[in-house]
Amino acid sequence: MAQTSQTSLATSLAIQWRVIWAMILREMLTRYGRNNIGVLWLFVEPMLFVAVITGIWSATRSIHNSDIPIAAFALTGYSSMLLWRTLPGRCMGAAETNKTLLHHRYVKVLDIFIARIILEQGAVTTSFAILGVVMAMLGWLDPPEDLLQLFAGWLLLAWFGASLALTLAGLAERWEVIQKFWSPFSVILFPFSGAAFLVDALPEKARNVILYLPMVHGVEYIREGFFGTRMVAHYDLFYLFVWNVSLTLFGLAQVRRIGTDQDLA
């Protein structure tokens, strides 16, 4: 009986992964098509964004009172920001626009969201890795001091972005105003997200306030893994973990509610 249950679970997981992979391929072709460089834009777009910001900051020599190389500062900051800022916008409205797919037996609302999350997170991670290698070869930055910590911080921040996307996308399917609200709010939130500054450079009162934002802890942890002793990091991983778990559970509940609602029927 136990072996049969394990086989059934493995079969179900394999089916759902094939569904998600098919959704990923469909999304890539729908968004980028087969013309010009096609799906390569998925990786080139965030790479260009980070490269332009790096060039601007390097030209102005603005380093926020730190001896951290500006290229590495921009790479870690803006790549980290892309992990959470763009995901909700990609997922909002996805269930409504793909509701015809839900008539298929194995396609669920969660599959649609997971496919977009994997696609976006994979693109940002790939661009971060490629730009890091290229910049290191050009001598613009040194290799990370603690690669394991960098990897762990990246996963934690990616988890935060995914859970935030599930939560906001689930709410947006029920209340359209959420989708309209997120775009301007994310612009306002960006300067306070830790992408463009070091927490240690802030006055103590401002530092205590800014650390209420969960993504700041992820950025600080990533940067400590990258720069190590060249900076003083401020973070609380347990605080970020609690946010991630809470948003994940709440987001999954909202997605489940969408699946049972008649709005997408």
d(CA 61, CA 40): 31
Which residues contact residue 24 at a Cβ distance below 8 angstroms, ignoring those fewer than 6 apart? 115, 118, 119
pLDDT for the residue numbered 139? 82
d(CA 198, CA 67): 12
- pLDDT tens figures, 60-115: 554 445 567 777 888 888 888 888 988 888 888 887 777 777 777 777 888 889 98
Q: What is the pTM of this model?
A: 0.84
pLDDT for the residue numbered 60? 54
- pLDDT tens figures, 184-236: 888 888 888 888 888 988 898 999 999 999 999 999 999 999 988 888 899 99
pLDDT for the residue numbered 30? 73
Question: Which amino acid appears at position 109 of this protein?
Answer: V
